Copies of this chain bind each other. A is one copy, B any other.
Amino acid sequence: MSISPESDEIKYAKGLEGVIAAISGISFIDGDQGILVYRGFSIETLAKHSNYEEIVYLLLHGELPTRPELEELTNKLKEYRTCEALMPSIRSFPKDAHPMDVVRSAVSLMGIYCPDKFDFSKEIKMQKVLRVVAKLPSIVASYDRIRKGLEPIEPDNSLNHAENFLYMLNGEKPDELSAKIMDIMFILHADHGMNASTFSAMVTISTLSDVYSSLTAGIGTLKGPLHGGANERVLKMLREIKSVDNVKPWLDEALEERRKIMGFGHRVYRAYDPRAKILKKYAKQLGEQKQGDLLFEIGEKVEEYMLEKVGAKGIQPNVDFYSGIVLNHLGIATDVFTPIFAISRSAGWGSHILEYLESNRLFRPRAIYNGPYHQEYIEIENREGE
């Protein structure tokens, strides 16, 4: 018997597409309507009224915090910002490492310095999650400075999560609009249903392994270009287009050759990605504030022409199109885009693994075997090469 993976003989959902793997009350996506809710609150409402710290509470606890509850969480996040134990490692890394490899390793190392032992108290597990949420901005910012030959900056506890990240990255306190946009970026990426990295974190926790093993797995999974790496690719495309005048000819050729245009269309959304709509507004504000950002101007033209050509078919900008433009505009290096995604999504990963542990079941699907059954062992002297 030999069954090819492409065979029609065996029907199964490749990539588990459409297969139900869990029940979850954390976030909901209606792709036809262009709706995303966290715990029942629409993403538009949260972007307008909330902030990342409150979102962390909402995702983890299922409801909005009272003021004392929010203060307690905010204080904990501030307390956990420092990374003394990790700094010698981060300083010793080669300067050309991919920041996602650094982030993944740093979270794995946290499991050595402050282990999540086989203790199943939800409260203790939640502390471990908060430690990761709090330290990720410090890890990302510190490594980005160290690789540039700059000294890392100590966290400033007068600043909120987003402000402090930009401060630790740039060494100066951010202007109001930049801080607001970073907070919005963190809000918009904090959760998104059962995506691949969230699922990966759940598979790992399902053996009753620990929080760090699980989040390390999530980070490693997010790293892939089919998941977290898309906004990097938008920037690559804009750089390749090079000038506003080249937008139309470049896109005409790309569409003619049926190439994928990065940052347009989404597996889940057929309507306009609600996160893209929010980011677009801020991208415009940034554009008005700062004239002469070429990539931003190219991006605007790309959207305009794409909507004209294929917008009617439901191919619209997704969150990655605007996040790449916005982050580039904030002066952030392209390879730090996915780490920023990880900073934000850590809250979602943590919420999903804590939820899954409440009625845990080991993830162990099946594979169909299509190899041989009865091979005869031939001693090495008698084997024939090809």
Contact = CB atoms under 8 A, between A and B. Distances in A.
A4 B23 CA distance: 8
Contacts of A67: 380-381, 383
A379 B111 CA distance: 37
A224 B362 CA distance: 10
B210 A203 contact: no
A221 B208 contact: no
Interface string A178-215: 00000000000000011111011001111111101110
Contacts of A105: 105, 108-109, 111-112
Contacts of A217: 200, 204, 216-217, 220-221
Contacts of A6: 359
Given A19-B19, A26-B371, A112 B108 contact: no
A312 B27 CA distance: 49
B207 A363 contact: no
A205 B217 CA distance: 11
A223 B209 contact: yes
Given A15-B363, A112-B105, A226-B207, A39 B375 contact: yes
Given A28-B373, A199-B365, A367-B24, A207 B221 contact: yes
Interface stretch (A88-96, A161-169, A239-247, A287-295): A88-96
B16 A371 contact: no
Interface residues of A, number: 116
Given A108-B216, A373-B37, A20 B10 contact: yes
Given A39-B375, A193-B367, A3 B21 contact: no
A295 to B, nearest CB: 22
A58 to B, nearest CB: 10
Nearest to A111: B101
A64 interface: yes
A68 B372 contact: no
Nearest to A11: B20
Contact of A362 (B101, B196, B210): B196
A364 B195 contact: yes
B111 A21 contact: no
Nearest to A89: B89
A49 interface: yes
B368 A24 contact: yes
A309 interface: no
Nearest to A104: B108
The 8 lowest CB-CB distance pairs between A and B, nearest first, are A207-B224, A213-B220, A25-B371, A40-B372, A40-B375, A209-B224, A15-B361, A21-B365
24 contacts: A2-B25, A5-B22, A5-B23, A14-B361, A18-B365, A23-B368, A24-B367, A24-B369, A24-B370, A39-B372, A40-B373, A41-B377, A49-B377, A49-B379, A70-B380, A88-B92, A93-B112, A98-B115, A105-B112, A108-B108, A206-B226, A207-B225, A207-B226, A226-B362
